[in-house]
A = this chain, B = another copy of it.
Amino acid sequence: MAEQYCYRYPHPAVTTDCVIFGFDGGELQVLLVERGIEPYMGRWALPGGFLKMDETAEEGALRELREETGLENAYIQQFHTFSDPRRDPRERVITIAYYALVKIQNVYGGDDAASACWFPLSEIPSLAFDHDYILRMATQRLREEIHFQPVGFELLPEKFTIKELQALYEAILGVSFDRRNFAKKMLHLEILTELDETVWPTSKREAKLYRFNSEKYEEMKQKGYRLEF
């Protein structure tokens, strides 16, 4: 194919990369894909690809996400653009990076997913390009964001127990909380709706199920919301 797209000044290529977080009840997980072409063939990398000329970066990130997970409506958040001139050996490539929070139970292998795999955050292999750095920055931003937005709910199933919610917060922030104080704080925020149902979560006794109350949350976001931990 001829090199038919010509400009008076040099232009960089632009991609989107997506750090896809999931939660399995224990540790935070990240979805990685194995590269099938050079450079870095065989290395694990973040899902991503070149931005089409008629889509926004967000649309590109959602497209990548759909291809890898089959999910149409996940929560995504742009967090940084990486522009080191030498971050890709082929040509100059600038990447607009997003992180996505998905309910891991809803993810089935998508089109591209033959080589996609979940990795616990503590067992990430060495990644292609500067993706190690991108991933580090994504987890850092997720930790910050969780103080302002109840993003945790994007990672949990529709119905969940307080214990599961606590496990998630502990996994994201890398700390542990007092069981009773955590429940009190969360219930006091009034963004949880108690359901009539209960479950037997592997344990001795049934536990109440809750659902995220998004109307209440939208209300709170107006007058400034902050979550202390």
Contacts and interface: CB of A to CB of B under 8 A. Distances in A.
Contact of A3 (B6, B53, B91, B94): B6
B10 A12 contact: no
A31 to B, nearest CB: 22
Contact of A83 (B3, B12, B57, B226): B57
A40 to B, nearest CB: 20
A226 to B, nearest CB: 8
A140 to B, nearest CB: 12
Copies in the complex: 2
A11 B13 contact: yes
Contacts of A50: 9
Contacts of A12: 11, 14, 51, 53
A70 to B, nearest CB: 24
Interface in A108-123: none
A161 interface: no
Size bin of chain A's contact surface: 35 or more
A5 B11 contact: yes
The binding surface of chain A is classed by DSSP as: loop
A83 B96 contact: yes
A63 to B, nearest CB: 13
Contacts of A91: 7
A73 interface: no
Contacts of A81: 57, 78, 81, 96
Nearest to A83: B57
Q: Which interface residue of A2, A5, A58 has the most chain B CB atoms within 10 A?
A: A5
A55 interface: yes
